[in-house]
Amino acid sequence: MIREQFMVKDIIPAEINEKLEAWGRWNRQPSSRSRGNVSVESRFRDNRCPLCYEKPDPCDACKRVISMGEQPATTDVLSIERIVSRHVPRLSRDQLIAHYVYRCRPEATSRKLGIRKTDYDMLLRRSVTMVANNLQKITQAHCA
């Protein structure tokens, strides 16, 4: 399903857009919605049966399960999750979640958040810039 974005590809750098798309995919995983699996480990643990868990090669059934989904870069995804949940204001957070996690149409998001459709791109760019700047700070802190 291709959803029409206003001019998102022109206003947001491709690198941060890819990281936010991965964050959205990570949040759309079924285990992230269930209350039973609240740990981060449950989202990224290996999906192998008890028979082949200790073996170096998975069995055929586990190979099919593993090949069905791709794992995002965990450090970027977890950093973005931390940034969005702690450092981004509520309106920007709600817009990022609607845009990248729920993949809502910009018109519907604008209506629900009470912003003008013409301001959608500007607010999205500002939200993404906040995430990119905080991600850059975190990356520099880890490297130093």
Which pLDDT score is estimated for 35? 40
Q: Which residues of the chain fall below pLDDT 50?
A: 1-7, 32-38
| Residue 120 CA: distances (Å) to CA of 28, 51, 57, 89, 104 | 23, 51, 48, 15, 12
Which pLDDT score is estimated for 66? 57
Dist. CA 96–CA 77, nearest whole Å: 14
CB 107 within 8 A of CB 119: no
Within 13 Å and on the Cβ side, how many CA atoms surround 61? Answer: 7
Where b means 16+ CB within 10 Å and e means fewer, 32-44 reads eeeeeeeeeeebb
Dist. CA 117–CA 108, nearest whole Å: 9
- Residues with Cβ within 8 Å of 75's Cβ and at least 6 positions away in sequence, in order, are none
Token reading at 121: 């791109």
pLDDT by residue (tens digit) across 31-47?
544 444 445 555 555 55
Which pLDDT score is estimated for 128? 96
Q: How many helices (H) and strands (E) does the chain have?
A: 9, 0
pLDDT by residue (tens digit) across 70-86?
555 678 899 999 999 99
